[in-house]
Structure 1
Amino acid sequence: MQCAIGWGLLLAATLAVAQAAEPAAAPAAETPRTLLVMGDSLSAGYGMAADEGWVALLGEDLARNRPGWRVINASISGETSAGGSSRIVPELMRHRPDVVVIALGANDGLRGLPIREMRRNLARMIGASQHVGAGVLLVGMRMPPNLGGDYTGRFEALYRELADFFEVPLLPFLLEPIALDRQAFQDDNLHPTVQAQARLRDHVRAALEPLLDGDRAPPRRDE
């Protein structure tokens, strides 16, 4: 009961903050539909040209196969969930997206930041996006085992908890297609290479398909 009350208060607070972003009117037939990506360096295309990252490749793919869709990449290298939470309402007001991809948390985990704060930040982003009528794809991450089993377990479970609570689809692990391929990473062993970006694009694209068809809450993707 105490947990349920806590979630209820969190949702109420999220919606109250999101009042600043009024729901977008239904777009006219000729108005492009917008997909907004809120991520970190993994989505910003760290170490490569802007048009080489998976988000840019997704934009090209949608331009070819989903006429009328445009992709806005609001990802920032080094971004934490707190940074995304502070930016979400202005980005929603600026772009009026139909779909929001939230791919944050990696930097929280690598810095060992508190799980409860990450939960609050991501919940605010999801709630604000839903408040303006956007569909949401939550993209998860996993942490290396050297951070400890308790922390890594709670970190991974957090994404599932949020996906269940807000009834949004979940892509459990952004790097899943390349995680075991050392050649798919740059010298820092953290950021994918240019050659790996198409695999990441296809991974995300498959999870996005129901949202692109207009389904705001398709069954979430489990492993």
Structure 2
Amino acid sequence: MLRIPLVVMGLIALLWSPGAAANSPEGQNPSPEPLTILVFGDSLSAAYGMPESAGWPALLEERLEERERDWEVENVSISGDTTAGGRTRLPEVLDRTAPVLVILALGGNDGLRGLPPAAMRENLEAMVEAIETAGAETLLLGIRIPPNYGRRYTERFEAVYADLAEARELAFEPFFLEDILLEDGMLMDDGIHPSEAAQPHLLDAVWSRLEPMVKAAEAGKPPCNGDG
């Protein structure tokens, strides 16, 4: 009969105990993958005229570092982009980044170019549908244009965002530049683009709508859209 020394039997018992398995690399629960927020916009989100690290999307990533759950912010905003351009490039970006939340911030250049609001609405809605198909949630950022485009056009333009947000039950920030427009030093010399000093204020405007969505994603729950 084979005799196994007591010390060997002790080692076998230790290695096969449930506690040892749990403490082994194979038995450890791996850290969850970071959750991704995609910022998909134009120059208002692309850190136009300043270092990328100073833009509000970069400040958003810094704010998310304070949370227990790991987050990443993918900012693929392009200065000058329109809703038509965004609609074309969005599918590839969604496949590549696999976000759980998307901040959709396009349309300003459509308005400045006087493009038809109906076409802008069609493009935005197509992007919202692509985001939903990818399993992500949308935060829609609205924008306003100068009144010199005429009352009828500006009203139709601004209504696109509100109507789309209501129809699709989206989280919605009507105009995240509102609090900075009348403050000294908040706009660049062109009178259009927010300055570096304005970026923390833009982040605060976005965060007021985004934070409930972040909390819901961390908890694995459907995000709270709209005002609810």
TM-score per shorter chain, which class?
0.7 to 0.9
Residue equivalent to 2:26: none
Alignment of 1:90 with 2:92, yes or no, is yes
Aligned length: 195
The equivalent of 1:177 in structure 2 is 179
Code of the residue aligned with 2:224 in structure 1: it is: P
> Which of the numbers 98, 104, 107 marks the counterpart of 1:105?
107
Identify the residue that residue 64 of structure 1 maps to in structure 2: 66
Which residue identity does 1:87 align to in structure 2?
Answer: R
Match of 1:129 among 128, 131, 153: 131
> Take 1:201 and 1:88, find their aligned partners in 2: how far apart are those partners?
23
Give the one of 203, 224, 227 matched to 1:218: 224
User: Offset of 1:183 from its aligned partner?
Assistant: 2.1
SS at match of 1:37: strand
Larger Rg: 2
Show CA shifts across 1:167-213 (max 9, x none).
11110002012022242001001111111100101110111011112
Structure 1 unmatched runs, 5+: 1-27
Structure 2 residue runs without a partner (length 5+): 1-29
Aligned residue in 1 for 2:13:
none
* Alpha-carbon distance, 1:67 to partner: 3.4
* Partner AA of 1:34 in structure 2: T
CA distance in 1, matches of 2:144, 2:105: 12
> What TM-score results when the alignment is normalised by the length of structure 2?
0.82
- State the identity as a percent: 47
**Could you say which residue in structure 1 is the equivalent of 2:19?**
none
The structure showing larger relative contact order (alpha-carbon pairs under 8 Å, at least 6 residues apart) is 1
CA 1:158–1:29: 2 relative to 1, 3 Å: farther
How far the C-alpha of 1:220 sits from its partner, in A, is: 1.8
Distance (whole Å) between structure 2 residues aligned to residue 66 and residue 89 of structure 1: 30
Q: Normalising by structure 1, what TM-score?
A: 0.83
User: Could you give the per-residue CA deviations for residues 106-128 of structure 1, whole angstroms, max 9, x where no partner exists?
Assistant: 00000100111101110011111
